Chains A and B, each alone.
Chain A
Amino acid sequence: DAGVIQSPRHEVTEMGQEVTLRCKPISGHNSLFWYRQTMMRGLELLIYFNNNVPIDDSGMPEDRFSAKMPNASFSTLKIQPSEPRDSAVYFCASSSGLAGTQYFGPGTRLTVL
């Protein structure tokens, strides 16, 4: 079975550009989570959805970050405008219900120059 799919796997962009990260959860999973991993701060939960509805976005660092889940099989995390301090690995995870086990995607390594 396919796991969580993320694209792109690597993204290099210049400061000020818009960046869109994409995630396809495991089929049948109705909860989706976006995390950011950096050396300084470790793994941080940014936002999560249940049944396509955002439940908690308190981890989103600033208004430059936004996330959507237009349907059960697709979510985006957008950064506009991007800044060098946004450089990190962004992981998407999904689970069957909020109390289910979270399964992680391969991540998107973002570098903002």
Chain B
Amino acid sequence: AQSVSQHNHHVILSEAASLELGCNYSYGGTVNLFWYVQYPGQHLQLLLKYFSGDPLVKGIKGFEAEFIKSKFSFNLRKPSVQWSDTAEYFCAVRGSGNTGKLIFGQGTTLQVKP
């Protein structure tokens, strides 16, 4: 069965620290990969996505992610976090066939201390 695993459930960092959130997926085929962010009390917003091509994807607000096919991973990174990055981050995977079904990880709560 398809699944997404986010290893870190709760991360606490100080401002200017570097961030890496882990995401591994289980899917037997070509995938599309996504990172969404949910700020407190708000809806999910797309940070970045990977469909094909360059495995290093750059998104909004200085975030990037690298697709490593051999490791079934799509880790999210940011070199220097800000207090405003405090939010919950969700990794999601979908088979690249025309199914539409998006599977989400359990989410990682990031708390950035000023």
Using a CB-CB cutoff of 8 Å, which residues 28-62 of chain A contact chain B?
31, 33, 42-43, 45, 48, 50, 55-56
Interface size on B (CB < 8 Å)?
Answer: 22
Given contacts A42-B104, A104-B45, A107-B43, contact A99 B34 (CB under 8 A): no
Q: Can you list 27 A-B pairs with a CB-CB distance of less than 8 A? A: A33-B100, A33-B102, A42-B104, A42-B107, A43-B90, A43-B104, A45-B101, A45-B102, A45-B103, A48-B100, A48-B101, A56-B99, A56-B100, A56-B101, A91-B43, A91-B44, A93-B44, A95-B100, A98-B99, A98-B100, A99-B32, A99-B96, A99-B98, A99-B100, A101-B49, A104-B36, A105-B43
Q: Which residues of B contact A (CB under 8 A)?
A: 32, 34, 36, 42-46, 49, 90, 96-107
